[in-house]
A and B are shown apart, each in its own frame.
Chain A
Amino acid sequence: GQNIDQPTEMTATEGAIVQINCTYQTSGFNGLFWYQQHAGEAPTFLSYNVLDGLEEKGRFSSFLSRSKGYSYLLLKELQMKDSASYLCAVRDRDYKLSFGAGTTVTVRA
């Protein structure tokens, strides 16, 4: 199985930048995913990293270091609608995902 850690909560101001860290210990790493989940709704896919480095997608970027077992999700130009839970998930070679507990981000005006 996987052991995945991420902070429980983060608060930031509208227009600011927030970085959500995720560390993992894994057997059979086959990719890392970030999902966004609004309360009571399904998770929606944000980003995927399988090689080391930065992947940029509009206001969202994700970074991976496989040797350090570390990833982060960077949210830029925060908007009120970005208030949500952000889930870090690691995939194994059987295509199963293991999720962290999620980081609740609150964006203040």
Chain B
Amino acid sequence: DGGITQSPKYLFRKEGQNVTLSCEQNLNHDAMYWYRQDPGQGLRLIYYSQIVNDFQKGDIAEGYSVSREKKESFPLTVTSAQKNPTAFYLCASSTLQDYNEQFFGPGTRLTVL
């Protein structure tokens, strides 16, 4: 079955530690995206990538880093520089054709203690 996987579902980290969230897709999509969702707020774009070895900052990139070494994979690192890292993180992918939507992974809920 084609889809997007994120792991783990729940993640706990101590303050000051970097943590990497994984995102893998087997839909052969060119574009991949990372969003953050906080209570009462919409999804906010952190980073996106439309091609391997290239990525762009979204609206809230500070304190985060990404890589796109393979078409299928787009890991997100939450660094110690991110002031409020506790959130629900969603990865998505899409083609770059007009009539196609973004497909979302199940999300990772990160809690920093």
Asked whether any CB of chain A lies closer than 8 Å to the CB of B76, the reply is no
The chain A residue with its CB closest to the CB of B102 is A97
- 13 A-B contact pairs sorted by A residue (CB < 8 Å): A31-B98, A40-B107, A42-B90, A42-B106, A44-B104, A45-B101, A45-B103, A48-B101, A87-B42, A96-B33, A96-B58, A97-B45, A101-B41
Q: Could you tell me if A87 and B105 are in contact, using CB atoms closer than 8 angstroms?
A: no
- In addition to A33-B101, A43-B90, A48-B99, 20 A-B residue pairs with Cβ atoms within 8 Å of each other are A1-B59, A4-B42, A40-B107, A41-B106, A42-B105, A42-B106, A43-B43, A45-B101, A50-B99, A87-B42, A87-B43, A95-B50, A95-B96, A96-B33, A96-B45, A97-B43, A97-B102, A98-B42, A98-B45, A99-B43
Task: Chain B residues near A101: list those with CB within 8 A.
Answer: 40-42
